[in-house]
Chains A and B, each alone.
Chain A
Amino acid sequence: AQSVTQLGSHVSVSEGALVLLRCNYSSSVPPYLFWYVQYPNQGLQLLLKYTSAATLVKGINGFEAEFKKSETSFHLTKPSAHMSDAAEYFCAVGRYSGGGADGLTFGKGTHLIIQP
Chain B
Amino acid sequence: EAQVTQNPRYLITVTGKKLTVTCSQNMNHEYMSWYRQDPGLGLRQIYYSMNVEVTDKGDVPEGYKVSRKEKRNFPLILESPSPNQTSLYFCASSLLPPGQGYGYTFGSGTRLTVV
A interface vs B, CB < 8 Å? 9, 32, 34, 36, 42-46, 49-52, 90, 92, 94-96, 99-109
Contact = CB atoms under 8 A, between A and B. Distances in A.
Contact of B97 (A50, A101, A107): A101
B109 interface: yes
Contacts of A9: 40
Contacts of B90: 43-44
A102 B56 contact: yes
Given A104-B103, A104-B104, A90 B42 contact: yes
Contacts of B58: 102-103
B107 A32 contact: no
7 contacts: A45-B106, A99-B50, A102-B56, A104-B104, A105-B45, A106-B35, A109-B42
A102 B40 CA distance: 23
B108 A42 contact: yes
